[in-house]
């Protein structure tokens, strides 16, 4: 990758839009240089939330400090790919548009391999060195560690140095070496988000879509998987539906399982599904028996390996 095209996300969560002109008036707080995701989502009633999907406005989201590759620019927007989100749409990563004001160039970001902090709390405050609150960051935000100070972690941010509370993060040996955990750990990661409203394209603890939820819970446990449900169903290890275990991904297709895959969830165990259903609903655990999901269940994939935990 050409380093001069490599940029970092400089807001807590950047939304990846389908086009440079996808965002609406109501989306102002999601596309400004200072993002206020909570305020944006509060304003989005059912209809404008639904049209993020139905009108194909949003593709995905990217977290603070994540790298994107700029391919083109137009009207203050950058056409990017997200290398961390594998996609059949572009072999380099997931494509979409982000306001250029939400990106910053940082040439020496991960040049020196070293420890990284990953946020394990649902959300965590980033402080300045003077203890001022800078911003609230999402679960799974990863930043290089400068110094581990017992109860606080000094981290490198796209604009300088920040402080995270040690209780909100895990320190790992490098950003590419998240410890691999088992299926039960994937379920446990997902359980903490029960009740969180669904968000089309959502990839943060402000809201996940179905495949964003499965992607992030796998990622939190050491497995990078494709971003979209139909591609998640084509990778991983095939598991017979009679042999599914907690942490396996379950896939659902139209026409009672024979048509196009349109949904993914995490097998919870005991005949139950942990998933982010659709606009207007919240992340939940439901029994499969007697539901439309039971009829539409078409495949299972395992991305996890057995570990000692």
Q: What is the CATH number of the domain that holds 230?
A: 3.90.1720.10
Residue 152 and residue 242 in one domain: no
Are 164 and 200 contained in the same domain?
no
Model confidence pLDDT, tens digit, residues 47-84: 999 999 999 999 999 999 999 999 999 999 999 999 99
- 111 pLDDT exceeds 90? no
The residue-averaged pLDDT of 211-232 equals 97
Q: Are residues 28 and 75 in the same domain?
A: yes
Split at pLDDT 50, 70, 90, the class of 177 is confident
Torsion angles phi and psi, residue 47, rounded to 5? -60, -55
pLDDT at 110: 61
Residue 175: its pLDDT value, please?
82
Domain span at residue 290 reads: 183-302
The C-alpha atoms of residue 188 and residue 194 are separated, in whole angstroms, by: 11
**Same domain membership, residue 229 and residue 274:** yes
Q: Are 187 and 297 members of one domain?
A: yes
Residues 167 and 213 in one domain: no
Residue 111 lies in a domain: no
Q: What does pTM read for this prediction?
A: 0.95
Same domain, 78 and 120: no
174: part of which helix (H) or strand (E)? none
Distance CA 247, CA 217 (A): 9
pLDDT for res 246: 98
Q: What percent of the chain has pLDDT over 70?
A: 96
**Domain annotation covers residue 93:** yes
222 plus 289 within the same structural domain: yes
Kindly tell me if the per-residue pLDDT of 216 is higher than 60. yes
Q: What is the per-residue pLDDT for 196?
A: 98
Bridge partners of residue 16, in order along the sequence: 60
Instruction: Tell me: pLDDT of 309 over 70.
Output: no
CA dist 65 → 59, 140, 256 (Å): 19, 11, 41
Answer whether residue 297 is part of any domain: yes
Q: Residue 308: its pLDDT value, please?
A: 59
Question: What would the mean pLDDT of 16-35 be, rounded to a whole number?
Answer: 97
Task: Name the nearest CA neighbour of 96 among 85, 110, 105.
Answer: 85
Task: Please state, in angstroms and as integers, the Cα–Cα distance from residue 198 to each residue in 144, 170, 274, following that order.
Answer: 30, 26, 13
- Going by pLDDT thresholds of 50, 70 and 90, the confidence category of residue 1 is very low
Tell me, yes or no, whether 177 lies in a domain: no
Does residue 178 lie in a domain region?
A: no
User: Which two structure tokens, joined as six digits, stand for 294?
Assistant: 């039971």
What's the pLDDT band for 112 if we cut at 50, 70, 90?
low
Q: Does residue 189 sit in the same domain as residue 296?
A: yes
Q: Does some domain include residue 110?
A: no
Residue 52 lies in a domain: yes
For residues 244 and 237, is the Cβ–Cβ distance under 8 A? no
pLDDT at position 32 = 94
Q: What's the number of domains the chain is made of?
A: 3
Q: Active-site residue numbers?
A: 210, 263, 275
For range 183-197, the mean pLDDT: 98
What is the spatial distance between Cα 136 and Cα 127, in angstroms, rounded to a whole number? Answer: 9
Where is pLDDT greater, at 292 or 175?
292
Residue pointed to by tokens 């240089």: 33
User: Domain for residue 309, yes or no?
Assistant: no
Q: What is the CATH number of the domain that holds 154?
A: 2.30.30.40
- For residue 305, the SS3 value is coil
């Amino acid at each position: 990758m050409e380093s001069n095209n490599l940029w970092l996300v400089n807001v807590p969560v950047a939304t990846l839009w389908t086009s440079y002109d996808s965002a609406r008036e109501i989306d102002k707080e999601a596309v400004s240089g200072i993002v206020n995701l909570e305020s944006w989502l509060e304003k989005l009633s059912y209809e404008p939330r639904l049209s993020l999907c139905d009108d194909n406005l949003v593709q995905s989201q990217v977290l603070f400090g994540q790298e994107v590759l700029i391919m083109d620019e137009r009207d203050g927007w950058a056409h990017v790919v997200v290398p961390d989100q594998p996609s059949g749409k572009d072999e380099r990563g997931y494509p979409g548009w982000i306001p250029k004001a939400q990106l910053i160039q940082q040439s020496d970001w991960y040049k020196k391999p070293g420890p990284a902090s990953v946020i394990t709390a649902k959300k965590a405050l980033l402080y300045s060195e003077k203890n001022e609150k800078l911003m609230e960051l999402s679960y799974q935000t990863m930043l290089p560690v400068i110094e581990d100070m017992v109860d606080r972690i000094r981290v490198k941010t796209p604009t300088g140095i920040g402080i995270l509370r040690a209780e909100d993060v895990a320190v790992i040996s490098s950003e590419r070496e998240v410890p691999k955990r088992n299926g039960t750990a994937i379920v446990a990661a997902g359980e903490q988000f029960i009740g969180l409203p669904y968000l089309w394209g959502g990839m943060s603890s402000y809201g996940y879509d179905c495949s964003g939820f499965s992607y992030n819970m796998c990622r939190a446990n050491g497995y990078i998987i494709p971003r979209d449900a139909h591609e998640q169903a084509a990778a991983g290890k095939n598991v017979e539906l009679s042999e599914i275990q907690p942490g396996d991904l379950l896939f659902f297709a139209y026409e009672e399982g024979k048509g196009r895959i349109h949904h993914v969830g995490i097998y919870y165990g005991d005949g139950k599904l942990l998933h982010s259903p659709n606009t207007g609903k919240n992340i939940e655990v439901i029994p499969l028996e007697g539901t439309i999901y039971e009829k539409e269940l078409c495949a299972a994939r395992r991305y996890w390996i057995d570990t000692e935990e």
